[in-house]
Structure 1
Amino acid sequence: MFMAIYNLFSKRQADAANSGISDVYQYDEIPQNLRVQVGQISTEAIGQYGSYAGSYTNIIEDNDVWHNIERIYLREKGLDRISHEDFSGARILAYMRKCATLDWLDFLELIAIGIEIMAGERYRYKRQTWQVSMQGQKAIDEINYRLLQAGVGYQLEGTRLIRVDSQYVHAEVVKPALSLLSGQGFEGPRQEFLEAHQHYRASEFRQAVAMAANAVESTFKSIFDQKGWTYQKGARISDLVKVAKANGLWPVYLDGSFDQLVATLQSGLPKIRDNDASHGQGSTPKNVPGYIAAYALHLAASKIVFIAEASKCMARSE
């Protein structure tokens, strides 16, 4: 069941340094509506807190999954009590309505373990007793969706909670892209990149793909404007790549090895946008899956980083 000693999320984060780079997510505040939503999901997936005798004065049985979640938290935090409700689950969720962010995250991870345990074979018959109404993976998926929707930068991978910015792509691509776009002259592409993420969090995946592609195109144009390079007003990304190459945005010796990346710029992200997010959807609505939108966002970020860094390097050599 639960481990005797558990390495809480807050312990793993104790030495994490704040990079100071702006992000599309925030990590410090848990909105009240998110606290309520996660409490509701947890109750449906772990079940009722417990049961009383005929009168509401004598507890017959405490839901032992909730009980173990509370027991581990109290042991690891060195506490005797977190709230004064009768049942463990009620005490936990009452505490989570008002506790500090790290404490809330510690409990969220423990709840994810509890959800997995309640979904297991051992609790097959207890699920009916505790009136469990949501399957384990469905509960985890909805919690992740609610976190994403709220713009809170944490996700559950199985039963382990991670900061989104600890993921390699996010840390090495998305945040640097935002940092590079924070400079003067990049207000347009930065706004488009942020809007792409806003659409993604709202599950508006078609719009996310389209806005991500726009951000790449606008980054090219911002650099061209800064350097005084001419380009046609309605230039597509293939035309913008030609302008960048003709003006030596990247070194000549990279032209041969750069062909594959140029092809990606020309047919990768724009292809997704053209096929799935632009030019109308016809009589049959087109659905862009979330994983394609995520790929588009990461691809856009990597191209923005490359283009902006190439421009900075070019400026230093001039």
Structure 2
Amino acid sequence: MAILDLFSEKQKRLRGEVNDVYQYKIVPQELRVQIVHILNDSIGSAKSFYRSDKNEPEDIFKFINDTLSREYGKFSLIGDYRTFRDTVFKYLLQEENMERVIDVVQLSFQYIDKILRPDFQNYAYRNEVKCDPNDAIGELNGRFKEHAVGFQFNGGEITKVDSTYN
């Protein structure tokens, strides 16, 4: 989805409340929630009429949970939640270590970029998806910039950005 230029955002810019220096230590809660929305829209949910015994979106979240859990030496990212989607989202929203938050974002968007993008038409046919991979990546990068968080997803990975000056 496109990033709207809301009245409140315009007013912040007019008052000079917008940061033009990137920071790298905090991923604000508001940005985390926006990332959850982007992931939810781009990974989607299984269409009820198309559903078989396979739930592709839930399998993606299981992959993210299992991959990061193994890397961190844990059995699960966080507690026992009803679905892997819930587990990944709760972890993304609650984790205090900023680098691990970025790990979730990078792995999720690598999956969207490398696995979903090449077969997106078929994936979107089988699943309820609101956002294609290009738009999801574009919105993620726009949200990073909007919150003055000095990262972007580029070339299949999260990289640091040094300046907002154009």
TM-score by length of 2: 0.74
1:46 aligned partner, one-letter code:
I
Instruction: Quote the residue 1:216 is aligned against.
Output: none
Shift of 1:75: 1.3
- Does residue 147 of structure 1 match 2:141? no
Q: Which runs of 5+ in 2 are unaligned?
A: 1-19
CA distance in 1, matches of 2:55, 2:43: 15
Q: How many residues align?
A: 139
1:69 aligned partner, one-letter code:
I
Deviation beyond 4 Å, 4+ runs, structure 1: none
Shift of 1:152: 0.5
Per-residue CA distance 1:111-156 (angstroms, 9 max, x = gap): 11121222222x5433233311101011001000000000101111
- Does residue 75 of structure 1 match 2:70? yes
Determine if contact 2:65/2:76 at 8 Å carries over to the other structure. Answer: no
Per-residue CA distance 1:272-311 (angstroms, 9 max, x = gap): xxxxxxxxxxxxxxxxxxxxxx1xxxxxxxxxxxxxxxxx
**Identity within the alignment, %:** 27
Shift of 1:60: 6.6
User: What pairs up with 1:90-239 in 2 under 5 angstroms?
Assistant: 90-99=86-95, 100-116=97-113, 117-121=115-119, 124-165=121-162, 197=164
Q: Which runs of 5+ in 1 are unaligned?
A: 1-22, 53-58, 171-196, 201-293, 295-318
- Does residue 87 of structure 1 match 2:83? yes
Distance 1:86 1:128, change over 3 A: farther
Determine if contact 1:45/1:118 at 8 Å carries over to the other structure. Answer: no
The CA RMSD measured in Å over matched residues stands at 2.4
Determine if contact 1:46/1:114 at 8 Å carries over to the other structure. Answer: no
By percentage of residues, which structure has more helix? 1
Secondary structure at the residue paired with 1:162?
A: strand
Q: 2:61 aligns with which of 66, 74, 82?
A: 66
Per-residue CA distance 1:72-100 (angstroms, 9 max, x = gap): 11111111012322222221011100112
CA distance in 1, matches of 2:24, 2:109: 19
Higher Cα Rg: structure 1 or 2? 1
2:70 aligned partner, one-letter code:
R
Distance 1:71 1:31, change over 3 A: same
CA distance in 2, matches of 1:60, 1:135: 21
TM-score by length of 1: 0.40
Whose RCO is larger (CA < 8 A, sep 6+)? 2
CA distance in 2, matches of 1:96, 1:153: 18
Instruction: Quote the residue 2:13 is aligned against.
Output: none
Determine if contact 2:24/2:150 at 8 Å carries over to the other structure. Answer: yes
CA distance in 1, matches of 2:156, 2:88: 18
